[in-house]
Amino acid sequence: MTNQNVVVPGATPANTVAAAAKPPVLFPYPPPRGGGASAAAAIRKKHLSQVELPESWTNSWLESMKASSPIHAKVAASAAAVPIIEREQNEHSAWIVRHPSALSKFEQLMRATKGKQIVMFLDYDGTLSPIVDDPDSAFMSDAMRAAVKEVAGCIPTAIVSGRCRSKLFDFVKLTELYYAGSHGMDIEVPKGTKYTKKVHKALSEKTKPIPGAKLENNKFCVSVHFRCVDEKHWRVLVEQVWLVLKEYPMLRITQGRKVLEIRPIIKWDKGKALQFLLDSLGFADSKNVLPVYIGDDLTDEDAFKVLRDRGRGIGILVSEFPKETNASYFLRHPSEVITVTSCIIIQTDGSLCAGCEIADVIF
């Protein structure tokens, strides 16, 4: 067995930045395009204070937000010249070689688990539920709930999410699982969380005039969803977030899938949560345990990196589009997560698994 299920060369972790007075330039991209300036300028003029924002910092976050948008990426690709499209197709093929489908390579994946205790870690949004415009409507299907319930009955299973633990449980409604909310910070109360309510209130006031902006208080972090915000308003949104965060140097901003996350500057993320849960289960130093982590977001990269650095574990990215990742395998959609978890259940029961037959049908 090769190290296909463990190490991904050249991968990079998720992008993070502290809310400092002079934030560094994170993404050396060209300035954002023009368009929709009048509407955005009206909002900007009405709601910005006299504080001057670092232009490079704002541009960096705008470009990062665009890069995280699959729709934006598809539009850019369609406008590109044919040679560029061909190059991207070649890059896509190369990406598939480095990160093969967990379904097409299921037998290889299962060989890595032989003689080991599997421990399953799952993200929620985009992994167990589809990505939707309204985060309060991200319900998992009955089929997915049944699959998760069944896998939790066979192997230790945890859900690690950016949502607060109580809201996560309201969505999943399964008592057989371990829950780690707020990127794992619900497991252990960190310093700095007392500021969350104040920040949520301030952000609510600042972002209320921006059409489509939606805030979510996740107890230990605040999520600013911009999935329904027109791109012409993204700059104003970033500026408003920064105006609030500059008053809280103990907080930082990280980016997920069409969401900005404001959380304490502490060494805690989904990777730390994974390690904490393994330790809590008594599996931290066991060579006979193989963690499997399935997620779709930038914040899941911290967990993928932990598995890669450990040299033991399987990271599976859920994504329809190639992206830089520390994961070793990929799945295209939550429906494929159901297939993989069902196959793992069959395999752990000692029965023959139809993983390859299922993969042949899907692909």
Longest dimension (CA), the chain: 67
Per-residue pLDDT, 362: 31
Per-residue pLDDT, 357: 38
Q: What is the overall mean pLDDT for the chain?
A: 76
Q: Residue 4 pLDDT > 50, yes or no?
A: no
Lowest-confidence range among 89-93, 273-277, 322-326? Answer: 89-93
Q: Residue 53 pLDDT > 90, yes or no?
A: no
Instruction: Looking at the chain, list the stretches that DSSP marks H as alpha helix, in order from N- to C-terminal side.
Output: 37-47, 55-67, 70-78, 82-98, 106-111, 142-154, 165-172, 196-207, 234-245, 270-280, 301-310, 334-348, 355-362
Q: How far apart, in whole angstroms, are the C-alpha atoms of residue 276 and residue 57?
A: 33
SS3 content of the chain, % helix, strand, coil (to 5): 45, 15, 40
Q: Where are the domains of the chain?
A: 100-188+268-362
Lowest-confidence range among 151-160, 303-312, 342-351? Answer: 342-351
Q: Residue 152 pLDDT > 80, yes or no?
A: yes
Instruction: List residues with catalytic annotation.
Output: 123
**Mean pLDDT to the nearest integer, 226-238:** 90
CA-closest candidate to residue 149, choices 123, 172, 121 = 172
**Mean pLDDT to the nearest integer, 69-81:** 53
The fraction of the chain above a pLDDT of 70, given in percent, is 71
* 264 three-state secondary structure: strand
Strands 214-217 and 222-225: antiparallel
Who wins on pLDDT, 57 or 294? Answer: 294
Q: Could you report the per-residue pLDDT of 15-45, keeping only the tens digit for each?
A: 333 333 333 333 222 333 344 444 445 445 4
Lowest-confidence range among 17-21, 182-186, 271-275, 308-312? Answer: 17-21
DSSP 335: H
Q: Residue 74 pLDDT > 90, yes or no?
A: no
pLDDT band at 195 (very low <50, low <70, confident <90, very high): low
**Mean pLDDT to the nearest integer, 190-212:** 78
pLDDT band at 328 (very low <50, low <70, confident <90, very high): very high
Per-residue pLDDT, 126: 92
Q: Could you report the per-residue pLDDT of 268-298, keeping only the tens digit for each?
A: 789 988 988 888 777 877 888 999 999 999 8
The fraction of the chain above a pLDDT of 90, given in percent, is 29
Pick the CATH number of 100-188+268-362 from 2.60.40.1180, 3.40.50.620, 3.90.950.20, 3.40.50.1000: 3.40.50.1000
Per-residue pLDDT, 111: 86
Q: Residue 330 pLDDT > 50, yes or no?
A: yes
Q: Residue 83 pLDDT > 80, yes or no?
A: no
Lowest-confidence range among 188-192, 260-264, 341-345, 358-362? Answer: 358-362
